[in-house]
Structure 1
Amino acid sequence: MPALVRHTRPHEFAPAREGWDRNRIRTVLYWATTLVILVELASGSVWNLVPIDWITAQLDHLGYPSYFAGILGVWQVAAAAAIIAPRFALTKEWAYAGCCFLWSGAVWSHLIAGDSPSLWGVPLVFGVCAVASWVLRPTDRRLPVTLLHRHRGSVGDERAQGSRSRAFGAGHRAWAVAAGLLVAAYAFSLLTLPVIEPVMHERAVELGWLDP
């Protein structure tokens, strides 16, 4: 008796392939936006905690006290660690909220001061990246009440996938990657500080925030 051969049509794989492509794009966009805000938080905390002339001059220009730099710097360190670390979904919510307050406040402050888009456009970009990172974050970095449940495959497949995700999120590998990224961000910030500081000083002089 001849074997029955079922010829699979190409379009039958299309939904699965499209879903996989969407997930991959979502993951790439999440990590791209997250790394942008991670580097900015690390650099910002270093600039604020030193602090460099650009920071003190900018705070004075916007009408904030100089000690505000230290407060911002400490919380930027905490936000960077919370966002890049695995698990701790509730802490991440607070960190993302703090980022939105920080950069939206910077945009509003520059607008009130009558500054040009070259000054308030930068924090606006970082704010957009923070919102995008929050929206695109994977399920193991979300609060349970914010999960969007979609039926894809069997219940057993979903449970297996969730178990693997939780195992990876809680594993040593995830913590090692997070720690490595955080260290790399701060190493980059510290190594580039001697180059960036005089450039930003000259920028503050050009804007009239500092005397030549």
Structure 2
Amino acid sequence: MTRTHQHSADEESAAVTRSGRTWSRIRPIAFWVTTFVVVFELIAGSVWNLLTIEWVEVQLHHLGYPHFFAYVLGAWQAGAAVAIIVPRLPLLKEWAYVGAFFLWSGAVVSHLSVGDGLQSWGVPLMFGAFAIASWVLRPADRRLPETRLRRNRSAGAGQDEAGSPEIRSRAWEIRPRAWVVPIGLLVVLYAVSFLTLPVMEDVMREQAVKLGWINE
């Protein structure tokens, strides 16, 4: 009876360990996928708003916002994209995530308030969900220091301070490559946003016509 109970407990423990290992491999992938989507949308949105393409103008008019609101959104979207993708700056990251959530949740509420359907508010709702997922999945080195310190204490008081995850992450963050990669990604995403802008303008114009925001 005791052997059976012990065997069952060992199997349960092994299953939990395997599940934890699988999640530890999936989590960083899920984080970077959701973060890429969030950052790319913020960058594309900043380009569209700062250049104030026709789609932005007709949408602002449809929702009842002033024209200058596009420039405010565009500037903050650019800043949020940088804060989220680069290493360090955990407090700015928190504000950037909050701003992104307010941006897309506000878009959902704005479209609902004027009676728009799912085709209008479904997209910002999706991006808001991606922002929440990215925030939840962010690794320890992208969280506020207080959170990381509490986690490290609970992991064990005997851990060598020089070898702690917090110290190792800080050492990585001061290396040039830690900054070159995200900055290079930002440059590429901005280039893609600018190069695809003519095509996207035509696509979004067709969408505006379909929604009745533009009369041909």
**TM-score, normalized by the shorter chain, greater than 0.5:** yes
Find out whether 1:199 has 2:197 as its counterpart: no
Q: TM-score, normalised by structure 1?
A: 0.88
Amino acid at match of 2:116: D
Amino acid at match of 2:128: G
Superposed CA RMSD: 2.2
For residue 173 of structure 2, what is the aligned residue in structure 1? 169
Distance verdict in 2 for CA 1:183–1:68, change over 3 Å: same
The answer to whether the 8 A contact 1:83-1:96 is kept is yes
For residue 140 of structure 1, what is the aligned residue in structure 2? 141
The answer to whether the 8 A contact 1:59-1:65 is kept is yes
1:17 Cα deviation (Å)? Answer: 5.0
Q: TM-score, normalised by structure 2?
A: 0.86
Unaligned stretches of 5+ residues in structure 1: 1-9
Higher relative contact order (CA 8 A, sep 6+): 1
The structure in which a higher percent of residues are helix is: 2
For residue 155 of structure 2, what is the aligned residue in structure 1? 151
Aligned equivalents of 1:173, 1:15: Cα separation in 2 = 36
Aligned equivalents of 2:28, 2:156: Cα separation in 1 = 18
Aligned equivalents of 1:101, 1:38: Cα separation in 2 = 15
1:59 Cα deviation (Å)? Answer: 0.5
For residue 86 of structure 1, what is the aligned residue in structure 2? 87
Distance verdict in 2 for CA 1:15–1:166, change over 3 Å: farther
1:14 Cα deviation (Å)? Answer: 6.6
For residue 35 of structure 1, what is the aligned residue in structure 2? 36
1:211 counterpart (199, 211, 215): 215
Percent identity reads 54
For residue 50 of structure 1, what is the aligned residue in structure 2? 51
Provide, for residues 110-149 of structure 1, a one-character-per-residue CA deviation record: whole Å limited to 9, x for no partner: 0111111111010001001111111111111110233361
Unaligned stretches of 5+ residues in structure 2: 1-9
1:159 Cα deviation (Å)? Answer: 3.3
For residue 5 of structure 2, what is the aligned residue in structure 1? none
Amino acid at match of 1:209: W
For residue 104 of structure 1, what is the aligned residue in structure 2? 105
Say which SS state the counterpart of residue 155 (structure 1) adopts.
Answer: coil
Amino acid at match of 1:140: D
**Higher alpha-carbon deviation: 169-178 or 78-87:** 169-178
Provide, for residues 153-201 of structure 1, a one-character-per-residue CA deviation record: whole Å limited to 9, x for no partner: 9613993433222211222111011101111211111111111101111
Say which SS state the counterpart of residue 210 (structure 1) adopts.
Answer: coil
**Higher alpha-carbon deviation: 156-165 or 175-184:** 156-165
The answer to whether the 8 A contact 1:53-1:201 is kept is yes
Aligned equivalents of 2:161, 2:26: Cα separation in 1 = 22
Aligned equivalents of 1:179, 1:77: Cα separation in 2 = 13
Tell me the number of residue pairs that the alignment of Structure 1 and Structure 2 aligns.
203
Aligned equivalents of 1:40, 1:201: Cα separation in 2 = 18
Aligned equivalents of 2:130, 2:194: Cα separation in 1 = 23
The answer to whether the 8 A contact 1:152-1:158 is kept is no
